């Protein structure tokens, strides 16, 4: 474990976790996340960002270096379905673009408490359908996301299958939240070891998102779903000391049970979605290198064009 990771873990435990445990003002939480993103997240040199609409949904496209415009990663940002945005995660999109040679599209999906389930999933589907209508080959489209966005990526795989849409080329998920029944053993096992996420607030966040929907619904909790035979290959990265450790393990097991190719990667001492600290934290850069290689392989990377 690097010295910088040790220091970050200390700061998160001392400052961020207590703040998240007591904060109740959603607008203030969003502002705090936005300020943290501006202060701490590093944008890769030469990163490019372009806003537009896709399937009626506002998106931000991130790219860096030379990209093959026919290959796309749709990345769903994390934030518990109530905070986060394409702006807080655009640097991550650019970093992944640089590593896999594809464009990264970050949807501005609707958030709670203004918009409960299934609004986020509807927006995710709209983006994917728009790419398909535009003639993009599903074999050149990947889904990805972190935390709540990671769970959303797997929900979209299930939703697409139910609607007769083709599966994507692959899925990449960082610390995904995939079981909203809140029955994962790691929620309690790692409650004290997790340096950032307070387990005591998870039910509140879940209930606001569901607004009465059944947490056992597979589209809500994909870790409880029966995936179609031969699901897309998946790379899942998580920490051994975060409360969502078992959510990552459970979704991986479900995909493997359906015959899917799954790569599970666990870090021993990292915090929740440490990949956001790319450029500052060597463990983040290492994780993104592996994610980028996985994406490049399954998207069938070819000679790129200027993007």
pLDDT digits (tens, 9 = 90+) for 197-233: 999 999 999 999 999 999 999 999 999 999 999 999 9
| Domain range for 291 | 3-300
User: Which CATH number does the domain housing residue 282 bear?
Assistant: 3.40.50.1820
Q: What is the pLDDT of residue 307?
A: 43
Per-residue pLDDT tens, the chain, 307 aa: give them: 799 999 999 999 999 999 999 999 999 999 999 999 999 999 999 999 999 999 999 999 999 999 999 999 999 999 999 999 999 999 999 999 999 999 999 999 999 999 999 999 999 999 999 999 999 999 999 999 999 999 999 999 999 999 999 999 999 999 999 999 999 999 999 999 999 999 999 999 999 999 999 999 999 999 999 999 999 999 999 999 999 999 999 999 999 999 999 999 999 999 999 999 999 999 999 999 999 999 999 998 654 444 4
CB of 120 closer than 8 Å to CB of 109 = yes
Residue 305 lies in a domain: no
Residue 196 lies in a domain: yes
What domain count does the chain have?
A: 1
Is residue 243 packed enough to be buried (19+ CB in 10 Å), middle (13-18) or exposed (0-12)? buried
CB of 80 closer than 8 Å to CB of 109 = no
Residue 293 lies in a domain: yes
Q: Which pairs with CB-CB distance under 8 Å and at least 24 residues apart come from 197-201? A: 197/17, 197/20, 197/242, 197/243, 197/244, 197/272, 198/17, 198/20, 198/21, 199/243, 200/21, 201/20, 201/21
pLDDT digits (tens, 9 = 90+) for 265-289: 999 999 999 999 999 999 999 999 9
Is residue 139 packed enough to be buried (19+ CB in 10 Å), middle (13-18) or exposed (0-12)? middle
Which residue numbers are catalytic?
147, 242, 272
Residue 307 lies in a domain: no
Residue 244 lies in a domain: yes
Residue 306 lies in a domain: no
């Amino acid at each position: 474990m690097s010295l910088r990771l040790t220091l970050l873990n200390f700061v998160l435990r001392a400052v961020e976790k207590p703040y998240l445990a007591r904060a109740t003002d959603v607008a203030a939480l969003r502002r705090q996340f936005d300020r943290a993103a501006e202060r701490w997240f590093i944008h890769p040199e030469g990163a490019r960002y372009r806003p537009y609409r896709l399937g009626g949904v506002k998106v931000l496209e991130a790219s860096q270096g030379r990209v093959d415009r026919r290959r796309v990663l749709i990345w769903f940002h994390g934030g518990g379905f109530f905070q986060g945005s394409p702006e807080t995660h655009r640097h991550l999109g650019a970093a992944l673009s640089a590593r896999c040679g594809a464009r990264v599209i970050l949807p501005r999906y609707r958030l709670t408490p203004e918009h409960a389930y299934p609004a986020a999933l509807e927006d995710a589907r709209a983006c994917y359908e728009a790419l398909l209508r535009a003639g993009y080959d599903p074999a050149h489209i990947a889904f990805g996301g972190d935390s709540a966005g990671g769970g959303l990526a797997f929900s979209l795989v299930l939703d697409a299958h139910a609607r007769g849409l083709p599966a994507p080329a692959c899925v990449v998920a960082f610390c995904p939240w995939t079981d909203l029944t809140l029955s994962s053993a790691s929620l309690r096992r790692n409650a004290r070891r997790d340096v950032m996420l307070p387990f005591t607030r998870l039910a509140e966040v879940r209930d606001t998102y569901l607004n009465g929907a059944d947490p056992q619904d597979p589209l809500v909790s994909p870790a409880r779903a029966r995936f179609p035979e031969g699901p897309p290959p998946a790379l899942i990265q998580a920490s051994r000391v975060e409360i969502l450790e078992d959510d990552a393990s459970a979704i991986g097991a479900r995909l493997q049970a359906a015959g899917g190719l799954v790569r599970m990667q666990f870090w021993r001492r990292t915090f929740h979605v440490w990949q956001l600290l790319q450029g500052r934290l060597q463990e983040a850069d290492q994780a993104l290198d592996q994610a980028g290689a996985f994406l490049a392989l399954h998207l069938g990377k070819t000679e790129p064009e200027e993007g």
